[in-house]
Amino acid sequence: MARIGLFVCRCGRNIAGTVDVAEVAGILAEHPGVVHAEEYTYMCSDPGQLKVAQTIADQHLTGVVVAACSPQLHERTFRIACEKGGLNPYMCEMANIREHCSWVHPEEPATTEKAIELTRVAVEKVKHSRPLTPIRIPVNRRVLVIGAGIAGIQVALDAARGGYDVVLVEREAYVGGHMAQLSATFPEMERSRFLLRPKLAQLLSHDNVWLLTNSEVVELTGFVGNFKATIKTRPSTDAEAGLDLADEVFPRGVERQRQESTVEVEVGAVVPAIGYDVYPLESIPEYGSGSIPNVLTSLQFEQLLRTSEGGELRRPSDGAVPREVVFIQCVRSRDREHGMPYCSRICCMYTAKQAMLYKQRVPDGQAYVFYIDIRAQGKDDEEFIRRAAEQYGVLYLRGRVSRIFPQDGKVVVWGADTLSGMNVEIPADAVVLALAMTPAHGALDVARLLGVGADDHGFLTEAHPKLRPVETSTAGIFLAGACQAPRDIGSCVAHASGAASKVLELFSARHLEREPEIAHIDEGICAGCFDCREVCPSRAIEVKEIRDRRGELLDTVATVNDGLCQGCGLCVATCRSGAADLEGYTDSQLFSQIEALSSRWTSTTSAEKPGGGHGG
């Protein structure tokens, strides 16, 4: 006979403000199988958890229900509390009466009634729960890093220094990504390649790092700790050899595939660090769609700055020195109508940097910057911008540019200065566009390949924006750098190291404990139709042969690979004989939950109550 303890959380006023917590506890106290019901201010607090553990011991509970916030937040907390009290953690369920109830409904009887029903559902579920024990699976302590830009390099470096094998895959023929193409970094004003060099040198000096350029991951199977990646490598041309920063720093160079090849690598973790691209200039008609000479993208300008180091900066069209250069920020950023709604974050700073470097190259030149807001929130950034404006005489104009057109050898810019309230026209020698930062081309394919989420734009989605910024919703796959959101180099490096620490954490033990909420198949019932095998997305269904004493094959039935099964339950829904079931979501649990929602229970709440809320 079940002995269930119920704990209803007030969560300060978060729940108690709209739900009559006392009534929830009161009514459920009468529910069959419930032997203990109480309310408390903060169940998640140490004393709250202590209550749970204590009551389990005192009341010899066989199950616990905590009616509080979303299980996404505290299920683990309370399951551990139950363990402390000597109860199998999987005999604990939560009823979400905050996110799904108190926060979304006004204060009225219907809200309390809903809270009561949700709690009852949890109680009924626990009655049909079974004790479960976590599954231990081995971890292959080798990491696959996709993308050898600064973020990828940093992840690889940290993992290698942690003593683990690294497979670093780069789509291009060279490593270093965009950073290798930049002139200098802000606000330090140091040659970008000088910063990249030592990292690369150290990375390649580790003999547990395997760098594959010209390569792409074409398939990924398996699961956390036990992935299998298929990597396709293009043959590299002689032209490519030597171009690479890697050759610069690494005396014996990087060995390159001469013929196309495909390899399969077993890894325990995967870190996509696939970086970013910029919005195509071709699709910006009002700025000439790339047809106007001397209208450059910021990356093209970086190239100019890098190559003109020490010398004079000359524009590509006619080799003339541009005396007046207009920089335009937020091109297709913060522009939900024509481009990207988000802010590309780094443009303000690199534009200021480019303007300053330009002035260094062309001391008598004049730089203009069109901006909407100057976003200089990083360390030393504000001071950097002030230097640009005050010491380098860069003229900042607050406003967008509506049109650019060529006119007798000049590029005429029509913009506004919203501070003086005037429209301005600048005949410039060159225009530099800070194009929106977009996800790298093919980002969505990578997302699909790895089975991680991506937002509407194609930036890969982190598990939680605040507290899990480098993890994905798929165990064993972590994010690094600008593929998650636009960020500058420093932030990329920190973010990458963050991803690396998750890898090191995962690799710190040879085994990983997995949630036991997975499917199992009753061999006694299984008819061996293997429909389940067809639908299983994680290829977890295997064939098991049943033989008699003499080894004669009697039957083949389906069985579940604990390591692979992710517990989606597709097989259960598909199985016609009802041999399959899903721990934590068994048929008996679910049917009892549905019955708990039956209208007949409403008799337990007072009859005057209107049935439901009217929204707000």
Contacts to other proteins from residues 541-580, by CB under 8 A: 566-570, 572-574
Nearer to other proteins among residue 20 and residue 549 (C-beta): 20
Candidate list 292, 299, 343, 529; residue touching other proteins; CB under 8 A: 343
Closer to other proteins at the Cβ: 61 or 69?
A: 69
Site for other proteins in 91-130 (CB under 8 A): 96, 98-101, 103-106, 110-111, 113-114, 117-118, 121
Structure tokens at 126: 């626990």
Q: CA 609, 615, 616 angle in degrees (round to 5)?
A: 120
* Cβ 263 to other proteins shortest distance, Å: 5
Judged by CB under 8 A, how many residues of this single chain contact other proteins? 189
Segment 427-456, which members bind other proteins (CB under 8 A)?
427, 448, 451, 453, 455
Alpha helices in 129-253 (DSSP H): 150-161, 192-205, 245-249
Report, in Å, the least distance between residue 171 CB and other proteins: 19
Task: Give 253 or 290: the residue with its C-beta nearer to other proteins.
Answer: 253
* Residue 405 binds other proteins (CB under 8 A): no
For other proteins, the binding residues in 135-154 under the rule CB under 8 A are 140-142
Q: Taking Cα atoms as reference points, which of 364, 440, 412 lies closest to residue 151?
A: 440
Q: Tokens representing 524?
A: 């006694």
For other proteins, the binding residues in 476-515 under the rule CB under 8 A are 484-486, 488-491, 493-502, 504-505, 508-509
User: Is-contact 399 418, C-beta < 8 A?
Assistant: yes
- The CA–CA distances, whole Å, from 533 to 399, 529, 573, 599 equal 60, 9, 12, 38
Should residue 237 be labelled a site residue for other proteins when binding is judged by CB under 8 A? no
Q: Are 424 and 369 in contact (CB under 8 A)?
A: no
Say if residues 360 and 305 touch (Cβ distance below 8 Å): no
Min separation Cβ 65 and other proteins, Å: 14
Regarding 161 and contact with other proteins (CB under 8 A), the answer is: yes
Residue list 514-543, contact with other proteins (CB under 8 A): 517, 535, 537-538
Q: How far is CA 586 from CA 64, 124, 125, 572, 583, in A?
A: 18, 12, 9, 9, 6
C-alpha distance from residue 49 to each of 60, 74, 111 (Å): 16, 11, 26
Q: Residue 539 and residue 535: Cα distance in Å, rounded?
A: 9
Give min distance, CB of 466 to other proteins, in A: 5
Q: Give the CA angle between residues 525, 531, 536 to the nearest 5°.
A: 105
Query: For residues 190 and 286, which CB has a smaller minimum distance to other proteins in the complex?
Result: 190
Q: Which is nearer to other proteins, 31 or 74 (CB)?
A: 74
Q: Considering the complex, state which of residue 311 and residue 548 has its C-beta at the smaller distance from other proteins.
A: 311
φ, ψ of residue 126 to 5 degrees: the values are -60, -35
**SS3 labels along 115-169:** HHHHHHHHHHHHHCCCCCCCEEEECCCEEEEECCCHHHHHHHHHHHHCCCEEEEE
Instruction: Build a one-symbol-per-residue string for 189-228: x at contacts with other proteins by CB under 8 A, - elsewhere.
Output: xxx--xx-xxx-xx--xxxx-x------------------
In angstroms, the CA 589 to CA 596 distance is 10
Instruction: Supply the DSSP string of 270-295, one letter for each residue.
Output: EEE---EEE--GGG-GGGGGG-STTE
Considering only CA atoms, give the Rg of the chain.
31
Question: What minimum distance in Å lies between the beta carbon of 511 and other proteins?
Answer: 12
Q: Using the minimum distance from each CB to other proteins, give the nearer residue, 257 or 290.
A: 257
Q: Does 323 bind other proteins (CB under 8 A)?
A: yes
Q: Which of 312, 425, 548, 552 binds other proteins (CB under 8 A)?
A: 425
Q: Which stretch binds other proteins (CB under 8 A): 162-170, 283-291, 297-305, 555-563?
A: 162-170
State the nearest-atom distance from the C-beta of 42 to other proteins, in Å.
5
Q: Mark residues 365-394: x for contact with other proteins by CB under 8 A, - for none.
A: xx-x----xxxxxxxxxxx--xx-xxx-x-
Q: Do residues 284 and 158 lie in contact, with contact meaning Cβ atoms separated by under 8 Å? A: no
Is residue 500 a contact partner of residue 199, using CB atoms and an 8 Å limit?
A: no
Q: CB count, 10 Å around CB of 425?
A: 9
Binding mask 458-477 for other proteins (x = CB under 8 A): -x----xxxxxxx--xx---
Stretch that binds other proteins, among 275-283, 420-428, 520-528, 544-552 (CB under 8 A): 420-428
Site for other proteins, residues 36 to 95, rule: CB under 8 A: 41-42, 44-47, 49-50, 69-74, 76-77, 80
Applying CB under 8 A, does 175 fall inside the site for other proteins? Answer: no
CB 140 to other proteins: min, Å: 8
Q: What is the closest distance, in whole angstroms, from the C-beta atom of residue 526 to other proteins in the complex? A: 17
Residue 20 as a binder of other proteins (CB under 8 A): the answer is no
Instruction: Render 430-446 in DSSP notation, one character per residue.
Output: EEEEEEPEEEPTTHHHH
Q: Residue 455, Cα to own-chain centre: how many angstroms?
A: 9
Quick one: which of 603, 512, 491, 611 has its CA closest to 563?
A: 512
The minimum distance between CB 554 and other proteins, in angstroms, equals: 30
Q: How far is the CB of 29 from other proteins (least distance, A)?
A: 20
| Contacts (Cβ under 8 Å, ≥6 apart) of 382 | 376
Q: Which residues pair with 395 in a beta bridge?
A: 368
Q: Decide if residue 408 touches other proteins (CB under 8 A).
A: no
**Counting contacts by CB under 8 A, is residue 588 touching other proteins?**
no
Span 277-306, contacts to other proteins by CB under 8 A: none
Pairwise CA distance, residues 280 & 330, whole Å: 14
Contact between 360 and other proteins (CB under 8 A)?
Answer: no
Q: Is 3 in the site for other proteins (CB under 8 A)?
A: no
If one asks whether residue 403 binds other proteins (CB under 8 A), the answer comes out as no
3-state secondary structure 510-560: CEEEECCCCEEECCCCCCCCCHHHHHCCCCCEEEEEEECCCCCEEEEEEEE
Residue 23 binding other proteins, by CB under 8 A: no
Smallest distance from other proteins to CB 562, Å:
16
Q: What are 471's strand-pairing partners? A: 478
